[in-house]
Amino acid sequence: MNRQQAFQHEYQLARSQRGLDPAAELYHLERAHILGQRRFSEHLRSHLWLLAWAWRQRDWAECLAQLLRVPGSLGSLLGLYPLGNPGTRRVGPLTAQPVPEDLARLLR
């Protein structure tokens, strides 16, 4: 599986959890964000998916965080993004994080 396939796979896993397990859905959306950060279209989509998740959960703080991060997706066009950042408010928007090993292999 390549990076792009893994990005789509994580999104499909997230969708499979929608309405069943919000924490599992969020987990897979965060992983999709990590995989999509380098590509503007995927980075933007991941933030829109996270915004939709926050809206469904009525997590207004996360909605606000995503509304602020959507324009930040433009950083991908310039190669400016914090690698490993899950894209949610639990980690600062400019804070790099360790990349899970299974994802790191795809990002090399």
Supply the pLDDT for residue 57: 98
Supply the pLDDT for residue 95: 94
Supply the pLDDT for residue 22: 98
Q: Please provide the DSSP assignment of 6-64 as one string.
A: HHHHHHHHHHHHTTT-HHHHHHHHHHHHHHHTTSHHHHHHHHHHHHHHHHHHT-HHHHH
Q: pLDDT tens string for the chain (108 positions)?
A: 999 999 999 999 999 999 999 999 999 999 999 999 999 999 999 999 999 999 999 999 999 999 999 999 999 999 889 999 999 999 999 999 999 999 999 998
Q: Cα Rg for the chain, rounded, in angstroms?
A: 13
- Domain range for 103: 3-107
pTM of the model: 0.95
> How many structural domains comprise the chain?
1
